[in-house]
Amino acid sequence: LVKSVIVASSDKAYGNQELLPYNEKSPMQGRYPYDVSKSCADLLCRAYYETYNLPVCITRCGNFYGGGDLNFNRIVPGTIRSILYNKCPIIRSDGKLLRDYFYIKDGVESYILLAEKMENKKIHGEAFNFSIENPLTVLEIVNNILEAMNSDLKPKILNEATNEIKQQYLSAKKAKTLLDWKPKYTFKDGLVETINWYKVFFDNIA
């Protein structure tokens, strides 16, 4: 018997909005394929809850970062790898895109907490944003990593990215209020652990 289902959505489900930060009442209006897939999944979850009383909750988080992510097209692992190999980090956008960054350990803890809280059937069918509520630009992310790694390298800004929403960030007020949730890591705390993980990883494959 399935007692509860947690569906991992994303802040991308909200699409482009004039009013920020996103809250859980913001409409689902993804525009690009990935974003639309998240919007659709959210709506289907709500439909199955309303129609069949499915015990489901939805999580909406920003950009996860942390050790173990080997997709080096992502800004955090890609930048760390570049610096470790003494190469200038690449920014595909103009560096001004504003995003939430959420440490993976906080992400895991938020999922576990939500699963435990789902014993309360009153939250079934609900979506919850999880965020440290400290959005950063891509350039700020890269500069934070450069500083944390004591690097004098300079980022190379390509300004080639297209179909990107300029600003996306979340309010976590609902999770804090209804779930008594709070993040354990600041961005810089999570970054220190992340950098250390990749140092060990690349030392082991050298």
Residues with active-site annotation: 34
Are residues 181 and 131 in contact, defined by beta-carbon separation less than 8 angstroms?
no
Rounded Cα distance, 54 and 160, in Å: 43
Rounded Cα distance, 186 and 148, in Å: 14
Task: Give the closest residue to 137 by CA, choosing from 145, 127, 128.
Answer: 145
**Residue 75: exposed, middle, or buried by beta-carbon count in 10 A (0-12, 13-18, 19+)?**
buried
Cα separations in angstroms, 186 against 49, 159, 183: 34, 28, 8
